[in-house]
Amino acid sequence: DRSIKIAPSILAADFANFGAECEAIEAQGADWVHVDVMDGHFVPNITFGPATCAAIRPHIKGVMDVHLMIAPVDPYIEAFAKAGADVITAHAEATPHIHRTLQAIRGAGAKAGVALNPGTPASAVAELLDMVDLICVMTVNPGFGGQKFIDMTAKIRELRALIGDRPVHIEIDGGVDPKTAPLVAQAGADVLVAGSAVFKGGSVSDPAPYGENIRAI
């Protein structure tokens, strides 16, 4: 029996208050903090980079889970590792050399994750299983919070079978809420990213809804 971790995405937090938001979600029961880095090139939106990650790091006691939606990715891995990322996830679609990218992430001292867009099959990671700590299955096309969940349960099952008894997390990102969470958990996911479903109704001055939302997932 696998325990489910909830990783709120600060993409849905108050961008002027990241430190306080990270402290609030951890106090309300978040397991990991998910940090969405977007470049306006690999995805059609821009968020922030390694300097912001370094600034929020002291406000996170647990795992800082950095999701890089950027291309190229290799030139920035060292900077995100130095910023204190515990997990660095790169997209399989963002580089022709994802194997090299994953080597670089582990080489920089972080746990390595590979993310798959909805259009990318499970087989894309078949040769990478011993070099990853996490596989992120996107259940939206990345770029924005608050999008509709795309059912990827067949892919999740396929990945669990490929992973076998290796210690690899399956993380789900996009449209996770109390309705979709049980579907992906049942299929074999163990880390659930949630942005809008966690932050809705709360704020740093009224954080209790964050806790209620986390427990509802």
Tell me which of 58, 146, 178, 182 binds ligand DX5, using CB under 6 A. Answer: 146
Tell me which of 36, 86, 93, 171 binds Zn ion, using CB under 5 A. Answer: 36
Is 36 annotated to bind a ligand? Reply is yes
Count of residues that bind ligand DX5 according to CB under 6 A: 22
Task: Pick between residue 146 and residue 182 the one whose CB is nearest to ligand DX5.
Answer: 146
Is 206 an active-site residue?
no
- Map the footprint of ligand DX5 across residues 3-32, applying CB under 6 A: 9, 11-12
Q: How far apart are CA 140 and CA 119, in angstroms?
A: 10
Least distance from Zn ion to the Cβ atom of residue 206, Å? 25
Comparing C-alpha atoms, which of 154, 21, 13, 138 is closest to residue 69? Answer: 138
Strand residues in 39-101 grouped as ranges (E): 63-69, 87-91
Contact 188, 170 (CB under 8 A): yes
Tell me which of 81, 98, 159, 194 binds ligand DX5, using CB under 6 A. Answer: 194
Farthest CA pair distance, the chain: 47
Q: How far apart are CA 44 and CA 27, in angstroms?
A: 32
- Map the footprint of Zn ion across residues 174-213, applying CB under 5 A: none
Least distance from ligand DX5 to the Cβ atom of residue 164, Å? 27
Contact 193, 170 (CB under 8 A): no
Q: Name the catalytic one among 39, 65, 133, 173.
A: 173
Is 173 an active-site residue?
yes
Task: Pick between residue 107 and residue 146 the one whose CB is nearest to ligand DX5.
Answer: 146
Comparing C-alpha atoms, which of 62, 63, 67 is closest to residue 47? Answer: 67
Q: Residue 118, interface with ligand DX5 (CB under 6 A)?
A: no
Q: How far apart are CA 29 and CA 159, in angstroms?
A: 28
Token pair 């579907």 is at which residue? Answer: 183
Burial of residue 74, with CB atoms counted within 10 A of its CB: 0-12 exposed, 13-18 middle, 19 or more buried: middle
Tell me which of 30, 85, 122, 176 binds ligand DX5, using CB under 6 A. Answer: 176
Q: Residue 202, interface with ligand DX5 (CB under 6 A)?
A: no
Q: Residue 31, interface with Zn ion (CB under 5 A)?
A: no
- Positions that interact with Zn ion (CB under 5 A): 36, 67, 173
- Positions that interact with ligand DX5 (CB under 6 A): 9, 11-12, 34, 36, 67, 140, 142-147, 173-176, 193-197
